[in-house]
Amino acid sequence: MNADILDLREFYASPLGIAAQRAVTLALSPVWRPVAEERLVGLGYALPYLERFGADAERTLALMPAAQGALAWPPGRLTATALVQDDELPLGDSSVDRILMVHALEFAEKPQDMLLEAWRVLAPGGRLVVVVPNRRGVWTRFEHTPFGSGRPWSRRQLLGLMRDATFTPTAWTDALLFPPFRRRSLLGLAPAMERLGRSLWPVFSGVVIVEATKQIYRGIPAASTRRRLKVPKPVLVPQGVPS
């Protein structure tokens, strides 16, 4: 089941959502290598993180899957969001420098097709950053957060999926090492538990974060070629019987 756009917005406006955003942003910072004048795309619901990491980008777009819905963003400026099919992005080949996937891969009907499409639109050497629920994590057991919906992934599963799409993982990290507290008073413990959890129980983190690089050379799967290329078929026109 896909997360609804209104539920995602409501979650990130809540005290728990704000604490989760801070924890994920803190984990993303070490793997987010600045790229001058980069073209950045957020796929899924990446708005809370695009506002932090997209400030230095030459251009930032937010692409939201059709099953999820879309919101106008950024507020007060020209809209930079679009409703898309996650396996057919409205972008040219090698047209962006970095893609940030949040609340995307776990809801994809065909995760490999989503990654193949990301590979297509990324420039050679471009970076893909994926944030997905951790299969072993506590957050996947609770439905009051969007990380409790969709398909969770282990590091091993994610590694195999990346390699099948010809991405090379270059960095791994974890976030959400505190329980998804409902009480506002308990959320004050979140920063300390996040720091402590990195050394004591990282395997039970709420999300796994991986950065991967696009390999320049790869074959194009035959199935993908058939889906994308429309080859015209010759039409035989009868010429009649010579007199």
pLDDT tens, position by position, 113-160? 999 999 999 999 999 999 999 999 999 999 899 999 899 999 999 999
What is the CATH superfamily name and number for domain 5-228? Vaccinia Virus protein VP39 (3.40.50.150)
The residue ranges of every structural domain in the chain are: 5-228
Look at residue 167 in the predicted model and tell me its pLDDT. Answer: 95
Look at residue 217 in the predicted model and tell me its pLDDT. Answer: 62
What is the average pLDDT value for the chain, to the nearest integer? 88
Q: Which residues of 131-156 are buried (b: 16+ CB within 10 A; e: fewer)?
A: bbbbeebbbbeeeebbbbbbebbebe
- For the segment 215-241, the average pLDDT, to the nearest whole number, is 49
Q: With 60 as the cut, is the pLDDT of residue 7 above it?
A: yes
CB 80 within 8 A of CB 61: yes
Burial classification of residue 215, based on how many CB atoms lie within 10 Å of its CB (0-12 exposed, 13-18 middle, 19 or more buried): middle
- pTM, two decimals, is 0.86
Q: Which of 2, 125, 21, 133 is nearest to 69 (CA)?
A: 2
